């Protein structure tokens, strides 16, 4: 997808990445242009960004000149006296906005991975400008008339299947952006989009600022009992960096649950950590997001009504594989009862351990992961700390993630040190096909830092396209705590599976083989985009892959077979908790986006709305709070509004696919080539569910997911397929 249209669509969906803005600032002087890396293609391999030359002062001039240039390009297309053709309208749009595309791609990538005050200020200043610029294009009546003329006569254009789909997608994108509205309606929509862009930026900046400000300060090292020596050293280093010499700092992740809770023996400290986490964005002060939430939900509901939809979910889901809120509700509703039942059985086991140890208290959220590790140790005779010496980060990446990609697809990787990076912790790799030709460049950014948003994600700096001739440059981002200098980076099992997951996204981008930028890489429906990445998780514990990377970081000795067997046996352990916390968040997302504007709660009632929604949906279980509460639920204030269900929806497809792979021999080149040819290389150039069927050979079934998550409650064949076209 071209950057311009990607951001235009982002504006209509309320994504965190705002669209562009119309400005009247004249282009920068020629001398300034020559010194600005965004005004020309990067001369580095595959047009890799010139991070060593890019300065924050380059962004605003590139934004301003890039928007002015794109508006001229669009005006020329819209006012072309010649009749609309595929070349002079659609292809011309695909080629437009190059300067702006380069600048915004790098800017928003850096805002996520390594922000600073200057970048945050720019983000705030340009969010409404970007929205206005997007609207100036998507609501251009003459431009839409040309697109519509091509759409109406598409069968007579002599296009191939990908070209026909491109015409269809452009028409759909314009219509969903409000092209059919009256002039007063367009004016109202522009105002809404502008305010939503500003609010979304403020929300995301509040979340990042508060997650840093909420770090827990611990006075006494004895309170950190249960943490490893390297973890304690890291906590001391974080405190020293904040001017708190002699104290200890535990930083927070953006999720409700916090990893140290599984280790800390001090229950009061675990409670402090939990309470610091769950009150974020809702306790008053400068980072309180409740007023923003109420306003965003109101605007989204009003905008959906303006565009002809009953609610924001109906609008957002129409263009996904799910199609309707009813389909999503049915699937989530089918999964919730067995998930909660499993979580309650797990809670009973945890309470039994508490009682056995003489604990005079009832299981609370801050106890769950701590006692889960005790039960895990008792059931499977190991805990996560036993695994970590075998899970050194670089070894996991190069001899695990890369090894699996080599065995399945024939890919090889070579680290390079000559390319500039935006942070010293970043590493780069050339990626080669089995025949030795270069496929792309992969950027690995694995460590957490205060300038980086929470979570894990993939992004593309350069997207593949036959039209442009570009090959992909893609990046993976994790938030692994960085150990003290000289110490190894030892991962948890969750961090290992996250690394495999994100590389699944990277493969989706790297394997892209489409003609038009619109369809490149991961430009697929939100509820399909997680699917290939979830499939890639299966190789994390695939025996031949695990044996290749799970080696003691000191001696190189392989993980003992007995421990490996325990890891595999415990694969469904604690699944009730994991499914319930996820479903609670996904169902909250739907509740927020399936209401009309008059039902949106006032800021003071945001938390009460959450509780009532969870109870109504039968997913309320206090020991297992939602993975995200609304005030720090960045997914749904950004690109996953009404779309957080996508992870489990995609997992239905993933579970079907992993069963297919296992039944057809597993980690083989034949399977990899089939996956690449039928699905991973196609981007958004074909209907998502057609791609799925081309790969697996049948409609999706829900039973494989129920088996995978230990939730099977009925005989095979009794359920219905979870996805429909």
Q: Which two tokens stand for residue 563?
A: 């421990």
Q: In the chain, count of helices (H) and strands (E)? A: 29, 7
Summarize pLDDT for 485-530 with one digit per residue, the tens.
999 999 998 899 999 999 999 999 999 999 999 999 999 999 999 9
**pLDDT recorded at residue 721:** 31
Instruction: For residue 192, tell me if it sits in a domain.
Output: no
**C-alpha to C-alpha distance for 202 and 632, rounded to whole angstroms:** 12
Nearest to 533 by CA among 378, 646, 380: 646
Nearest to 346 by CA among 712, 45, 710, 719: 710
Nearest to 263 by CA among 367, 343, 364: 367
Nearest to 502 by CA among 626, 405, 395: 405
**pLDDT recorded at residue 21:** 29
Last residue of a domain, one of 588, 612, 644: 644
Instruction: For residue 718, tell me if it sits in a domain.
Output: no
Q: By residue range, what is the domain housing residue 69?
A: 3-177
**pLDDT recorded at residue 29:** 59
Cβ atoms within 10 Å of 600's Cβ, excluding its own: 21
DSSP structure class, residue 370: H
Same domain, 378 and 392: no
Instruction: For residue 197, tell me if it sits in a domain.
Output: no
**pLDDT recorded at residue 705:** 85
Same domain, 394 and 370: no
Same domain, 399 and 530: yes
Same domain, 378 and 416: no
Instruction: For residue 517, tell me if it sits in a domain.
Output: yes
Nearest to 264 by CA among 113, 370, 120: 370
Element (H, E) at 461: strand 457-462
**C-alpha to C-alpha distance for 608 and 249, rounded to whole angstroms:** 32
Q: For the chain, which ranges sit under pLDDT 70?
A: 1-29, 712-725
Nearest to 482 by CA among 558, 423, 547, 557: 423
Same domain, 503 and 599: no
Q: Are 458 and 443 in contact (CB under 8 A)?
A: no
Same domain, 321 and 375: yes
**C-alpha to C-alpha distance for 461 and 472, rounded to whole angstroms:** 8
Same domain, 464 and 479: yes
Same domain, 262 and 357: no
Same domain, 436 and 374: no
Nearest to 440 by CA among 475, 388, 389: 475
Count: domains in the chain:
4
**pLDDT recorded at residue 259:** 92
Instruction: For residue 682, tell me if it sits in a domain.
Output: no
Instruction: For residue 46, tell me if it sits in a domain.
Output: yes
Same domain, 376 and 394: no
**C-alpha to C-alpha distance for 438 and 411, rounded to whole angstroms:** 10
Rounded to an integer, what is the distance from CA 594 to the centroid of its chain? Answer: 22
Summarize pLDDT for 563-586 with one digit per residue, the tens.
888 877 887 789 999 999 999 999
Q: What is the set of active-site residues?
A: 502
**pLDDT recorded at residue 257:** 96
Q: What is the CATH number of the domain that holds 374?
A: 1.10.1370.10
Instruction: For residue 209, tell me if it sits in a domain.
Output: no
Q: Which two tokens stand for residue 444?
A: 């690995």
**C-alpha to C-alpha distance for 208 and 186, rounded to whole angstroms:** 33
Same domain, 509 and 579: no
DSSP structure class, residue 417: S
**pLDDT recorded at residue 223:** 97
Same domain, 274 and 300: no
Q: What is the CATH number of the domain that holds 408?
A: 1.10.1370.40
Element (H, E) at 534: helix 526-536
Interhelix angle 141-152/59-78, nearest 10 degrees: 60
Last residue of a domain, one of 644, 675, 706: 644
Instruction: For residue 566, tell me if it sits in a domain.
Output: no
Last residue of a domain, one of 258, 278, 298: 278
């Amino acid at each position: 997808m071209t950057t311009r249209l990607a951001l235009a669509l982002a504006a209509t969906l309320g994504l965190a990445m705002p669209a562009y803005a119309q400005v009247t600032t004249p282009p920068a002087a020629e001398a300034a242009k020559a010194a600005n890396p965004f005004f020309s293609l990067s001369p580095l391999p595959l047009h890799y960004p010139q991070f060593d030359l890019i300065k924050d002062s380059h962004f605003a001039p590139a934004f301003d000149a890039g928007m002015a240039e794109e508006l001229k390009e669009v005006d020329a297309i819209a006012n072309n006296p010649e009749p609309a053709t595929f070349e002079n309208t659609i292809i011309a749009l695909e080629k437009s906005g190059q300067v702006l595309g380069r600048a915004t791609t790098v800017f928003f990538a850096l805002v996520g991975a390594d922000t600073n005050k200057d970048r945050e200020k720019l983000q705030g200043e340009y969010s409404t400008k970007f929205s206005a610029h997007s609207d100036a294009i998507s609501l251009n009546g003459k431009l839409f008339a040309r697109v519509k003329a091509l759409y109406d006569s598409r069968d007579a254009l002599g296009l191939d299947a990908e070209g026909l789909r491109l015409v269809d997608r452009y028409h759909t994108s314009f219509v969903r952006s409000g092209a059919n509205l009256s002039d007063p309606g367009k004016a109202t929509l522009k105002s809404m989009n502008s305010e939503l862009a500003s609010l979304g930026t403020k929300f995301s900046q509040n979340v990042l600022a508060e997650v840093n400000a909420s770090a827990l300060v611990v006075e006494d090292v004895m309170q950190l009992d249960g943490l490893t020596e390297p973890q304690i050293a890291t906590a001391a280093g974080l405190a020293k960096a904040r001017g708190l010499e002699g104290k200890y700092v535990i930083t927070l992740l953006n999720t409700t649950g916090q990893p140290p809770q599984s280790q800390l023996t001090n229950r009061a400290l675990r409670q402090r950590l939990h309470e610091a986490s769950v009150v974020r964005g809702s306790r008053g002060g400068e980072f309180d997001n409740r007023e923003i939430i109420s306003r965003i939900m109101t605007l989204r509901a009003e905008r959906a009504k303006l565009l002809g939809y009953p609610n924001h979910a109906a609008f957002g889901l129409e263009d996904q594989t799910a199609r309707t809120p009813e389909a999503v509700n049915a699937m989530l509703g089918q999964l919730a009862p067995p998930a909660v039942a499993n979580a309650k059985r797990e809670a009973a086991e945890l309470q039994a351990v508490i009682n056995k140890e003489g604990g005079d208290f009832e299981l609370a959220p801050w106890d769950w992961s701590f006692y889960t590790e005790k039960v895990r140790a008792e059931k499977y005779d190991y805990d996560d700390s036993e695994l970590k010496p075998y899970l050194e980060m670089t070894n996991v990446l190069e001899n695990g993630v890369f090894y699996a990609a080599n065995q399945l697809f024939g890919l090889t990787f070579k680290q390079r040190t000559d390319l500039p990076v935006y942070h010293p912790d970043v590493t780069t790799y050339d990626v080669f096909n089995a025949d030795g030709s270069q496929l792309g460049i992969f950027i690995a950014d694995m460590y957490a830092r205060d300038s980086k948003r929470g979570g894990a994600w993939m992004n593309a700096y350069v997207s593949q396209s036959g039209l442009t001739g570009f090959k992909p440059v893609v990046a993976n981002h994790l938030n692994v705590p960085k150990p003290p200098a000289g110490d190894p980076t030892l991962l948890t099992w969750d961090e290992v599976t996250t690394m495999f997951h994100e590389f699944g996204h990277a493969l989706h981008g790297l394997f892209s083989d489409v003609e038009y930028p619109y369809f490149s890489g991961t430009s697929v429906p939100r509820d399909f985009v997680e699917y290939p990445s979830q499939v890639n998780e299966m190789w994390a514990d695939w025996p031949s892959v695990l044996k290749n990377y799970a080696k003691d970081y000191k001696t190189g000795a392989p993980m003992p077979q007995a421990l490996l067997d325990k890891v595999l046996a415990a694969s469904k352990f604690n699944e009730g908790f994991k499914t319930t916390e996820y479903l609670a968040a996904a169902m909250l997302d739907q509740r927020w986006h399936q209401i009309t504007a008059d039902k949106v709660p006032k800021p003071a009632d945001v938390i009460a709305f959450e509780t009532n929604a969870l109870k109504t949906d039968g997913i309320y279980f206090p020991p297992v709070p939602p993975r995200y509460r609304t005030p720090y639920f960045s997914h749904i204030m950004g690109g996953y509004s009404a779309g957080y269900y996508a992870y489990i929806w995609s997992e239905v497809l993933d579970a079907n696919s992993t069963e297919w792979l296992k039944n057809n021999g597993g980690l083989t080149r034949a399977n990899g080539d089939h996956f690449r040819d039928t699905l991973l290389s196609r981007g958004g150039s074909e209907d998502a569910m057609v791609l799925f069927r081309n790969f697996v050979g049948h409609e999706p079934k829900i039973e494989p997911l129920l088996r995978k998550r230990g939730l099977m409650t009925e005989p095979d064949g009794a359920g219905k397929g979870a996805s429909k076209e």
